[in-house]
Amino acid sequence: MAVKVFLGVPVYTMDTQFSVQEALVVEGDRVRFLGSTNEALKVFPGAEKIELEEGCILPGFIDAHLHLRDFALLVADLDLYSENLREGLLEQVRGVAAGKSKDEWITGGGAGLSILNDLNRDDLDAVCPDNPLVIYSRGMHSMLVNSASLSACHIDSSRQDPLGGTIERDSSGRPNGMLRGRAVELVKRHIPEQKTKSVQAAIERGIEKLVAKGVTTFCDCSLHNADLLMRALMRLHYQQRLKARGVLMFSDRAAARLGSMGIQSLFGNEKVKIGGCKVILDGSLSSMTAYMSRPYVGVASTGMLLMEEQELHQILKRSYADYIWAGVHAIGDRAVEIALRVYGKLGKEVGIPKLLKRIEHAQSLKDEDVEKFPETGVIPVVNPVHIPIDRGNALSCLGPDARLQHRLGSLTAAGATLAIGSDAPVGSISPFHGIYAAVERKDFSEGPELRFFPKERIQLRDALLAYTRGSAAALGLEKELGSLEPGKYADLVVLSKDVLSQDAEALANIEVKLTLVGGDTVYEGEND
């Protein structure tokens, strides 16, 4: 069994003592030893020495909430989450278009609105004239398309704006290629479905993007294609090509079928496991369908509650009785209040097992509900990467209640176990992007004046903890993952900088040098 000793840089274990060690020993797929360099070399004299000159070692990042298939297909052609230049985006489009057949659709995602707002259909036509091209913004509430896409979707000067959407136009009334809100659906429904073989390949490439960012485990919350994703991941596992660990959430109906067969949460193998039951309780902030206590600014609506409290209670009770834990999608403060109350009731009922309890997003929180997370043991699975995306919309449609959004600081101070998910493809899969947003409450390159309610900032150490040990707890895997301790899986990442010895601004330029999953190298960055 191979033994490796990593030394030369700080090892941030993320254990309960936040201990920092000099050396880490990996034997097979597990962490064997942590301690001083001298002791490690003395106890393991024949081990392979991996001497690092700079950076640090952390547990592998755990993305507690994403949508892998959607992300993989969105960036199958163009991954623009890290592109910060107008010219760079156009050059990427030119390169992809050169390898496509005429009329073949090209999609991309993750582009910053500051770049898309500086472009129009004519700019895209210059580098991609023959293929329908679709570029989604970060957050996916806007898209920029070229003339071929507009033509394929019958969007011209006579097309009216859909309810809740905008087709932007130039001075002559001609669509300029930018679609916002529900106008996005006018194009989205025309994009051809991917074939099974190409979906499988896209998922594999999507996982490769994850491990290149240091993500070693993910929780998929897609629901509508959980069975298809399970097949794809198992096929990769059998072929010994699955580079990350996956935990999959299922709809309440699918979870009930699993429960009827005696299949419980965390059934599976070391790479692919059944997660829990995901229930969607309300909508989203961007569509003003998140269920709020008070009406949105300028309208009488408080959003949408997609099921009554009693129905939610029945679904969760059945799921927990089958030993399948749950995650409730709740974005509005009123929806979160209902979810917490139902979880509180379940915690007091006889015969209901004490299993993991999650609230997905937990985006809007009243003061009195913050304390209920640690009281009930519910884990908020938060998405700080949304903060710069949601900021403007929250201020305009919530008014003073915008302060209820993304209350990471309050949750941390209350003692809640915080877990972080990217919600990709809505947000960037880069942990550094999410960690930065949690710490700075803004996006890279933005000034401090754009911090969104800065009192809700958290410390860098706490953000790292939420992306490792906290997220492991949100998957029910804290005994196996989330920290570097003897006996746990050797899932780790080597970073180019000592992240905890610098301020958060260093996260903008940090690189992953090495990613290990179960002791195996699944990603190795280029040497300088």
Kindly give, in sequence order, each residue whose CB lies less than 8 Å from that of residue 528, ignoring residues fewer than 6 positions away. none
53 bridge partner residues: none
Tally Cβ neighbours within 10 Å of residue 209. Answer: 18
- Domain, as residue range, for 154: 77-188
Determine the pLDDT at residue 223: 81
Among candidate residues 132, 155, 188, the one where a domain is terminated? 188
- What are the φ and ψ backbone dihedral angles of 184, each rounded to 5 degrees? -55, -35
Residues 480 and 510 in one domain: yes
Q: Would you say residue 284 lies in a domain?
A: yes
User: pLDDT of 252-291, one tens digit each?
Assistant: 999 999 999 999 999 999 999 999 999 999 999 988 999 9
User: pLDDT of 50-103, one tens digit each?
Assistant: 999 999 999 999 999 999 999 999 998 999 998 889 999 999 999 999 999 988
User: pLDDT of 111-145, one tens digit each?
Assistant: 988 899 999 999 999 999 999 999 999 888 899 99
The domain that holds 160 is classified in CATH as 3.10.310.70
Among candidate residues 188, 210, 232, the one where a domain is terminated? 188
Residue 194, pLDDT above cutoff 80: no
Please tell me the distance from the alpha carbon of residue 393 to that of residue 98, in angstroms, as a whole number.
37
Q: Inter-axis angle of helices 252-260 and 309-321, to 10 degrees? A: 30
Please tell me the distance from the alpha carbon of residue 283 to that of residue 334, in angstroms, as a whole number.
12
Determine the pLDDT at residue 528: 56
Domains held by the chain: number: 2
Residue 527, pLDDT above cutoff 70: no
Determine the pLDDT at residue 138: 85
Residues 138 and 257 in one domain: no
Residues 206 and 280 in one domain: yes
Kindly give, in sequence order, each residue whose CB lies less than 8 Å from that of residue 282, ignoring residues fewer than 6 positions away. 289, 290, 291, 303, 304, 305, 306, 329, 330, 331, 332, 334, 335
Among candidate residues 188, 207, 236, the one where a domain is terminated? 188
Residues 305 and 175 in one domain: no
CA nearest neighbour of 458 among 423, 413, 416: 413
Q: Would you say residue 20 lies in a domain?
A: no
Residues 178 and 246 in one domain: no
The domain that holds 491 is classified in CATH as 3.20.20.140
Please tell me the distance from the alpha carbon of residue 127 to that of residue 92, in angstroms, as a whole number.
9
Q: Would you say residue 51 lies in a domain?
A: no
Q: Would you say residue 14 lies in a domain?
A: no
